[in-house]
Structure 1
Amino acid sequence: MTNGRLSDGPSCEMDKLIVQIVGKDHSEQQQVLLLGSDGTRIYSPKSEVLERELFSSTLKVWDHIEGTHLHLQIATLEGEPIRLPLLSGTKVTPRQADAQFNQIVPVLPFVALPGSKTVDDMGTPVLARAGYVYVFYQEKLWRELEIHVSETGNTYHDIDVARYRQQSGFLAGERKATGQALEDIWLPALWNNRHVQTLQLCFSEIQLRAARLERLENDAVSRDQRCTSPDLSGSKMRFTDLYKGKPDGKAMLDAFSGFDAKNPVAQALIAPIKATRLNLQYNAFPVSLAAPQRARQPGYERLLDHPARYLCDLSGQFPVESFREAKAFLAQAGRGVAVQDVRHLELTAMADALLASLPIEADAEPVDAGVLWEAQAGVVDVLDKARQRQVCGVLLDDACYRLRHLRQRVGTCQQLFALCARHAVLHPHHASALLVQQLVVPRSIRGQENPLHAAMAKLHEPGRRAINQCTATVQRAVVWRHMRSAQDALVASLKQSATEQMLADHLSLEGFDYVAAMYELSRTLATLALLPSNVDPLAPGGDMVDAITGVGLWDQAVSLGQKFLNQTASNDTSPLHLMLWPECDLQTACAPYVVPVTDDENKGDGRFRATELARFETQPAPDPIAQVTLDATTLANLLAGESLQNFFLINNGKATTAALVGIFENLQSAADGAANAVAKASQTLASAKGNANSANANVRSANDRLAQMQERLGANADKINVNRQGRGVQQLRSMMPEHFGAAFLIRRNQVTPQHYVFGLEDLPGRESLPKTRYGEYLRPDGTPFGDIAPPHTSSTRLPKGDHLVLVIPRGHKTAQVIGDMNRTLKKVREAAGAVGDAELGHIRAKSGLSEAIEGLDAEKNKAAYRVLGSTPFCLAVLMLEVWNVSSEASAWEQTVREKGVTRTDLGIFGAGLDFAIALEALGKL
């Protein structure tokens, strides 16, 4: 139907200018103006509404006048309306039957919302959450809009960009939205029958700072990577070809959330759905294509493995159904039988249901685990009005949400492993079942046939089910798979250039916002270094096997996350590397840190800015309520709750110090862990190749298996690597120059009494360890062998070599603090060691630092004691000490190879024990 028809068609019109606005029922808050050459005169158009089934539009028609210009006018809450240039040099445009030569498309910003269980989930389109939309037009920032979310839908509020623009860029500080609430965003799609090629859009959780905007305007490569450039043009023919009769958003949701990668039929069926989903990525689409949905709730969504299934459930029954499914899964898994279909299982619901089934711990408060899973109120589709108006959607990237969501899903897996362990130990035969599962159930161990597995033939199904029951195998297997999938998806996202540019947005912030963004990124990357067995207390051998099906899960030699971390840390030219670490070479690392005279410039590329971080070394924790960004609010709350407490707080009370230490801990532990995994895998591969021609390989025994479990806490240690640990030292020194600026690397043979050597002095436990000799090697006549040296005292030092160690001047306050803390630990251990039978002494000798502290009840209420057992202390200090001890151990091994063991001082025992203690503490994280 045609309303207000102006003519019978092109043959009756002469010299007209026609602009088509897609959709109908548009408000007056956005208008297209035709201005005279001097910009003062406004020419009024005539309007015509074209209503069609799939593609309605409104035409604005003027008599063509030479020298006129088209502008977009946006109503504001205060002051004059915002006017934005659209087209200069208008031309006569003949009327077309479908799409006109000049076209403006009102759009709603959408984002894809995939689940976390498979990298094949491309996500269904949902409305963008609260944040900002940036529109670059003709290589300049054209529109900046703030998104407000309500139960009835999103509204978009313009910021007057021109008000904040200056000759050299943009004014620093916050930019306030003054535009009236809009239901959609008008964007140019066609001018003079040509596609608008210079329009680029992006979504951001945060308001971009002035330096970042200037970077995006001046750097076309960065802008192209950060933004999308969809084809916004629309027509009845185009929309019919692309979308009519094709899978819609609901079909995408069902297909992706229920996808089974192992099913070839499912792979064939999902191909056309993926094709349509890709069309959405590169083209505007009718809003009618999106699934009915409720308003965004990001905090709740991140608790879910399939957040889009919640958003697209208008009935409000999704939480109830998810909790019911989780309880049904636990009931079946509790019988020791594998559950075949867990594609829609929500792991947070599983965790809450499992927690509710466990006895309440003595020091824990009762928690209503099911409160999150109550039915929610039914709602009306937030897109209902937009569907009626036939406006369009455009799909933008929200990599920040993706990273947060996946990291939280990995965190849920960690929580579930602990809950599964608590559940398993309630079974009276748990210990023996775990031993059988580790030593008997596997068909092979370390690639060799397991001779004990033959005993499984005598065990009937009830017994096999009991093994699964007592070890929570079925539940843990689901968590293993999901943790791997979430980590793989996290790696896939981090590899995208759009994600790197999003991170540059956040790392171009200023002040505490920058500290918080760095801390959040460090936490995300640390997540990638974990393996399931690292956080599964019931997988000491690094694998698990279902006793009924024989299906096993095991750690990869090097996970995708570890490969990514190692590549990032090793490639000092990658954008992500430059955001995380400062430049460093051997000469720099081997000299005390020199504080820069001028502050690092914020160039808007997210590169590491040490001086900006160092400003907070002595700053108190900020007020969480005063923070604007989500990262800053989260970190401020962590600091306020002393979640990041470390031993520096005892001495100076500056809580923000803990955040800087946390950045170093997270990044360095992740980089070191990944490098060790890669090195170990390379050594294993070389060893396998070397033994390939061996005809008779020895079968590993059960004792080998037990030894492997005990040794999993430690990895092969290398000498200090300037390209990794040296860079880490530089990062720590530059962030905290008052505490660590005086630390530097030095050759071991150049160490003097004026140097305090991390890890090789004052480390607790060596003097208090048992020094029992259990026998001597004697000749037949009863005299000792003369070539066997007597036991060496643990205080014997290694020969001085040319390997690097980390030192700090002995009189420096940090050396004094660490020395005092280590001596305190030493006293704690000696007091605990007074309990005394040989068996307990042996346990304490093996368990090291943490076990000794736990044994001294009298010290538990002291602040120093509480910090000694904390994660920050174990990583921040022991990491530095481990480097030195590792370097000492490697130097000793090199001496053995060159001179033979009989010429090497066996004082390595002291350093080696330091290493074991440190590794044990790290292994408990």
Structure 2
Amino acid sequence: TPEQGVLTMTTGRLSDGPSCEMDKLIVQIVGKKHSDQQHVLLLDSDGARIYPPKSEALDRELFSSTLKVWDHIEGTHLHLQIATLEGEPIRLPLLSDTKVTPRQADAQFNQIVPVLPFVALPGSKTVDDMGTPVLARAGYVYVFYQEKLWRELEIQVSETGNTYHDIDVARYRQRGGFLPGERKATGVALEDIWLPALWNNRSVQTLQLCFSEIQLSAARLEHLEKDAVSRNQRCNSPDLSGSKKRFTDLYKGKPDGTAMLDAFSGFDAQNPVAQALIAPIKATRLNLQYNVFPVSLAAPQRARQPGYERLLDHPARYLCDLSGQYPVESFRQAKAFLAEAARGITVQDVRHLELTAMADALLASLPIEADAEPVDAGVLWEAQAAVVDVLHKARQRQVCGVLMDDACYRLRHLRQRVDTCQQLFALCARHAVLHPHHASALLVQQLVVPRSIRGQENPLHAAMAKLHEPGRRAINQCTATVQRAVVWRHMLSAQDALVASLKQSATEQMLADHLSLEGFDYVAAMYELSRTLATLALLPSNVDPLAPGGDMVDAVTGVGLWDQAVSAGQKFLNHIANDDTSPLHLMLWPECDLQTACAPYVVPVTDDENKGDGRFRATELARFEAQPAPDPIAQVTLDAATLANLLAGDSLQNFFLINNGKATTAALVGIFENLQSASDGAANAVDKASQTLASAKGNVNSAPANVRSANDRLAQMQERLGANAHKINVNRQGRGVQQLRSMMPEHFGAAFLIRRNQVTPQHYVFGLEDLPGRESLPKTRYGQYLRADGTPFGDIAPPPPSSARLPKGDNLVLVIPRGHKTAQVVGDMNRTLKKAREAAGAVGDAEMGHIRAKSGLSEAIEGLDAEKNKAAYRVLGSTPFCLAVLMLEVWNVSSES
């Protein structure tokens, strides 16, 4: 019939029509022109005999397929056979209960769907960007079928597209699990992956798919097979069944991948018309998430280049530009934006602005620093070669796509976008100070431009009425306000998207993949996650040198940006730090109570078992406490290669590691520093917001607005720049101590918390002995600042004089036996700093006295110049101070206040 399409016999001859067929077994393979590298076998009950099928091709406009037809024989079963490069072909079970299948006009009762793995690739500028489907990058595809790992395939990427290479899973199975170590792909290069969709006219419900950047460990695979909840969270279970009717209903005449890309990347959440227009596009995009789709729906695209993509805010716009002109256009647009912004004029449409291009263009416009090497900022933005659509052949063959999750890429991309924002804030500051009137303009912007300060009307703002637009533009020009506002908004959007991703159970399970690795790969995964979480603790004003008051206002438009009392990232961090049932909490911290923290660490007799759930394994981390840094070239995972390169350089080194050379110890210290500073900062923000709310409720009848003055504003700025720490939180710091001790038992295992009135001369108390004046330390104390004279702005008093350092209180402090090597190293370093400070004399103090009245940026720059002449600075410059030790000292100092 016409509905059956064109019938072409390739082997033998079938009966004259469907009504004449008797007792046939029919398997439909969606698409056409399939290779013989994977095919369906019908075997007898003992697998010794193979029954050959007859084939026919059904060629249709939207839904072509190939039918494999056998005479039905009781007791037979179906297998999928995949050709290999070595050894026997891989043979996988498909169906053990074959039945007679009457021929259907559209979808047959038994169906196999060849698929290409796709992932959604959203941009970083809005959480509403759901992403357009692009081919998955290099990595692995895992297929669970009937609650067991059925197929494991390695994705290899080339300029002409992706190929898929099977790993013989059965070869690596052992009783109750899998053999440890690498599993090598032996399957031939496949153009697609065949998956069962329908058996006996019922959808296959037990097939689950996931993509991974890394090859999952044996422990992780065993866990996913045994734990259905984890597997359901980690994997997608799309409806793979296809038919002409189904594809027509779901996709014909609906928005395609190109429409999704244009709509999501250009979406304006403030525009109600845009909200209405994007609704049907979101609906189609959600259909892709839960159903197989024809490859023809995806936008034409080039091969994946993840390293370059992460430099872009809209990586899919680059991938879906076959002409190769996207980099050129991005750089041109960035320079055009900077030209307008340099005039102090707000640019309305910056949805497609690429911030890395903006950073490179801005860098190219700045004078080259004396000790910097010249950099060709435009090299990344040259035209790339025009290419042919990597899906061209797949479109012709009418195979299908299936959408999978790539949360690992999402986290890495968003963190790199936040890193770019930090770089841009610094570049904007360098650009601003080139203006001769920068300091006065910044003062006006902070004290005069805002209509209100601290929720009260700002009386100084009345002066803005006398300032015409050229003067207002000049304020924007001298403070780089237009440029910074764009960066500020993007940083908040990227952080919001990061939080949204981390809240997903699929993301938690992906992190469990990485944290179930062994050896240095596990250390690297922990370090990478700690860096990502530290990114969430930042506020734009923390990294914008020109926003000491925590806000900024455009002098032309009057539109302002300000820090939230508690950001979404800080709320999230505080939640996972305090919820000891959270999966992320269990991955990041060991179990600990007050009793445990108040006694020296006991090294476990047996190693922590890798249960494949990503839980914190102290003994595995502690194996690397004194190991040399590994060779970066020998690393397999991206996290491991990145960390090995960091260790090979100097960025992670500090005085604590001098005797160890470039050891992996630095990574363990970094994990503690990142996680503890992030959780401390988040907790402090939450506590401060709670105190502010309580204070506001208790002071409804506050002083009238006209009493407030510029001094009030300066006080606010000083308060923000202050140490802003709080008294020691026993649970939080105790957990941190336990984490540090368990990762580094040789260095910190002997440390413990003790009541202050129980300290004896045999105890070395971190932070309360041998301390130099704090002015000889770096200005930044994990994101907070000291006054120019070395005293803190906030609520931590400086260390008490030596004569008063042994009060008899019952507060908890962190101690270590005085004879321990760590006590000796820390004490020696503190004494070295103290001597350097004393040798420098008081000259530096006098030189820096005038800095207090300067802007935040001027203070940072001039303060740094002055400090560079000090002996203490030279000591620090040659032997960087260990931030982890500084945290321990701050805890004790906080406890004393």
TM above 0.5, one fold? yes
- The DSSP-based 3-state class of the residue aligned with 2:732 is helix
Per-residue deviation at 1:723? 1.6
Closer, same or farther in 2 for the Cα pair 1:456/1:853, shift >3 Å? Answer: closer
Bigger Cα displacement from structure 2, 364-373 vs 691-700: 691-700
Deviations 1:596-655 (A, max 9, x none): 010000000000000000000000000000000000000000000122111122123252
Secondary structure (helix, strand or coil) at the match of 2:880 reads: helix
Q: 1:875 to 1:769 in 2, by over 3 A?
A: closer
Query: Is the alpha carbon distance of 1:600 and 1:847 closer, same or farther for their aligned partners in structure 2, counting shifts above 3 Å?
Result: farther
Q: Answer yes or no: is the 8 Å Cα contact 1:810–1:816 preserved in 2.
A: yes
Return the offset for 1:733: 0.4
1:714 CA drift (Å): 2.9
Separation in 1, partners of 2:780, 2:501: 55
Does the aligned pair in 2 maintain the 1:105–1:187 contact within 8 Å? yes
Contact 1:769 1:841 in 2 (8 A): no
Check whether the contact 1:160–1:178 (CA below 8 A) recurs between aligned residues.
yes
Inter-partner Cα distance in structure 2 for 1:89 and 1:552: 68
549-558 or 714-723: bigger deviation: 714-723
Deviation at 1:837, TM superposition (A): 7.2
Query: Do 1:829 and 1:852's aligned partners in 2 also have CA atoms closer than 8 Å?
Result: no
Shift of 1:847: 14
User: C-alpha root-mean-square deviation of aligned residues, in Å?
Assistant: 5.2
Conserved? CA contact 1:133–1:204, under 8 Å: yes
- Post-superposition shift, 1:554? 0.2
Please list the CA deviations of residues 457-507 of structure 1 after superposition, one character each: whole Å capped at 9, or x if unmatched.
010000000000000000000000000000000000000000000000000
TM-score relative to the length of structure 1? 0.91
CA distance in 1, matches of 2:760, 2:717: 40
Distance 1:655 1:775 in 2: 26
Q: Relative to 1, partners in 2 of residues 1:838 and 1:420: Cα closer, same or farther, differing over 3 Å?
A: closer
User: How much does 1:860 deviate?
Assistant: 8.1
- Between the aligned partners of 1:825 and 1:845, the Cα distance in structure 2 is 28
Query: How far has the Cα of 1:5 moved from its partner?
Result: 6.7
**Alpha-carbon deviation of 1:827?**
1.4
**Alpha-carbon shift at residue 797 of structure 1 (Å):** 3.6
Does the CA contact (< 8 Å) of 1:770 and 1:842 recur in 2? no
Please tell me whether the aligned partners of residues 764 and 849 of structure 1 are also in contact (alpha carbons under 8 angstroms): no
CA 85–787 in structure 1, closer or farther in 2 if over 3 Å, else same: closer
1:863 aligns with 2:871: yes
Aligned-residue offset at 1:236: 0.1
For the 8 Å contact 1:516–1:631, the answer to whether it is kept is: yes
Within 2, Cα distance between the matches of 1:411 and 1:156? 34
Deviation at 1:710, TM superposition (A): 2.2
User: Quick one: structure 1 residues 549 and 772, their matched pair in 2 at CA, closer, same or farther if it must change by over 3 Å?
Assistant: closer
Tell me, yes or no, if structure 1 residue 350 matches structure 2 residue 351: no
Counterpart contact for 1:542–1:555, Cα < 8 Å: yes
Shift of 1:846: 13
Change (3 A) 1:442 1:694: closer
Verify the 8 A CA contact 2:752 2:814 in the aligned structure 1: yes
Deviations 1:709-764 (A, max 9, x none): 22323354333222211100000000000100011000111111111111111110
Within 1, Cα distance between the matches of 2:486 and 2:82?
Answer: 52
Alpha-carbon spacing, 1:871–1:338, altered in 2? closer, same or farther (3 Å): farther
Distance 2:796 2:302 in 1: 78
Please list the CA deviations of residues 102-133 of structure 1 after superposition, one character each: whole Å capped at 9, or x if unmatched: 00000000000000000000000000000000
**Cα distance change of structure 1 residues 2 and 255 upon mapping to structure 2, 3 Å threshold:** farther
Kindly indicate whether the alpha-carbon contact (under 8 Å) linking 2:836 and 2:871 is maintained by their aligned counterparts in 1: no
Cα separation, partners in 2 of 1:537 and 1:36, compared to 1, 3 Å: same
| Mean CA deviation greater in 557-566 or 748-757 | 748-757
Kept in 1, the 8 Å contact 2:442–2:855? The answer is: no
**Cα distance, 1:5–1:496 mapped onto 2, change above 3 Å:** farther
1:868 Cα deviation (Å)?
A: 2.9
Between 701-710 and 747-756, report the one with greater CA deviation: 701-710
1:231-250 matches, cutoff 5 A: 231-250=239-258
Query: Are the aligned partners of 1:582 and 1:610 in contact in 2 as well (CA < 8 Å)?
Result: yes
Return closer, same or farther for 1:772/1:489 CA change in 2, 3 Å cut-off: closer
Correspondence 1:666 to 2:664:
no
Q: CA 1:120 to 1:4, structure 2 compared with 1: closer, same or farther past 3 Å?
A: farther
Q: TM-score, normalised by structure 2?
A: 0.94
What does 1:75-94 align with in structure 2 at a 5 Å threshold?
75-94=83-102
1:781 is displaced (CA, Å) by 35
Shift of 1:2: 10
Structure 1 residue 835 displacement after superposition = 2.2
- After superposition, the Cα gap between the structure-2 partners of 1:519 and 1:769, relative to the gap in structure 1 and judged at 3 Å, is closer
Secondary structure in structure 2 of the residue aligned to 1:795: helix
Structure 2 Cα separation of the partners of residues 624 and 363 of structure 1: 28
1:169 pairs with 2:177: yes
Q: CA deviation at 1:267?
A: 0.3
The 3-state SS of whatever aligns with 1:565 is: helix
Give the SS at the match of 1:731. Answer: helix
Structure 2: how far apart are the matches of 1:769 and 1:783? 11
Change (3 A) 1:714 1:48: same
Task: Note the C-alpha offset of 1:800.
Answer: 1.9
2: CA distance, partners of 1:316 / 1:376: 4
1:26-71 CA distance string (max 9 Å, x none): 0000010000111010000000000000000000000000000100
CA deviation digits over 1:287-314, x for unaligned, max 9? 0000000000000000000000000000
- The CA deviation at 1:842 is 8.2
Q: Secondary structure at the match of 2:841?
A: helix
Deviation at residue 529 of structure 1 after TM alignment: 0.1
Comparing 68-77 with 773-782, which one deviates more in the overlay?
773-782
Change over 3 Å in CA distance of 1:236–1:735 after alignment to 2:
same
Contact 1:719 1:804 in 2 (8 A): no
| Structure 2: distance between partners of 1:254 and 1:78 | 46
* Shift in alpha-carbon separation, 1:778–1:674, aligned structure 2, 3 A: closer
| More deviation, 641-650/436-445 | 641-650
Distance 1:544 1:261 in 2: 22
What is the alpha-carbon distance in structure 1 between the residues aligned to residue 199 and residue 765 of structure 2?
70
CA displacement at 1:878 relative to structure 2 = 1.1
Q: Distance in 2 between matches of 1:827 and 1:738?
A: 28
Paired residues in the alignment total 887
Alpha carbons of structure 1 residues 341 and 783: separation in structure 2 relative to 1, 3 Å: closer
Which of 299, 303, 309 in structure 1 is aligned with 2:307?
299
Shift of 1:391: 0.2
Bigger drift between 856-865 and 207-216 goes to: 856-865
Q: CA deviation at 1:821?
A: 0.6
For residues 881-916 of structure 1, the C-alpha deviation after alignment (integer angstroms, 9 at most, x for no partner) is 1111111xxxxxxxxxxxxxxxxxxxxxxxxxxxxx
Alignment match, 2:278: 270
The answer to which of 528-537 and 696-705 deviates more is 696-705
Q: What does residue 589 of structure 1 align with?
A: 597
Once the two structures are TM-superposed, the CA of residue 832 in structure 1 deviates from its matched residue by 2.1
Moved more, 646-655 or 113-122: 646-655
| SS of residue matched to 2:707 | coil
Alpha-carbon contact 1:618-1:654 (below 8 Å) kept: no
Q: Return 5+ residue gaps in structure 1 as ranges.
A: 888-925
1:204-257 CA-partner distances (Å, limit 9, x unpaired): 000000000000000000000000000000000000000000000000000000
Distance 2:124 2:457 in 1: 35
1:784/1:211 Cα in 2 relative to 1: closer, same or farther (>3 Å)? closer
From the superposition, tell whether residues 775 and 553 of structure 1 become closer, same or farther in structure 2 (CA, over 3 Å): closer
Q: 1:172 to 1:409 in 2, by over 3 A?
A: same
Spell out, residue by residue over 1:811-835, the C-alpha distance to the aligned partner (whole angstroms, 9 max, x if none). Answer: 1111111111111111121122242
Structure 1 residues 786 and 418 mapped into 2: Cα distance closer, same or farther (>3 Å)? closer
Contact 2:751 2:814 survives alignment (8 Å) = yes
- Counterpart Cα distance in 1 of 2:721 and 2:751: 28
Q: Is the 8 A contact 2:654 2:882 kept in 1?
A: no
Distance across 2 between alignment mates of 1:244 and 1:102: 24
- Unpaired runs of 5+ in structure 2? 1-8
Distance 1:591 1:627, change over 3 A: same
Does 2:53 match 1:45?
yes
- Post-superposition Cα deviations, 1:340-394, rounded to whole Å, max 9, x if no partner, equal 0000000000000000000000000000000000000000000000000000000
**CA–CA distance in 2 between the matches of 1:302 and 1:751?**
52
Q: Which is further off, 303-312 or 654-663? A: 654-663
Candidates 461, 465, 480, aligned match of 1:453: 461
Deviates more, 1:460-469 or 1:647-656: 647-656
Alignment of 1:266-415 (within 5 A): 266-415=274-423
**1:229 is matched with which residue?**
237
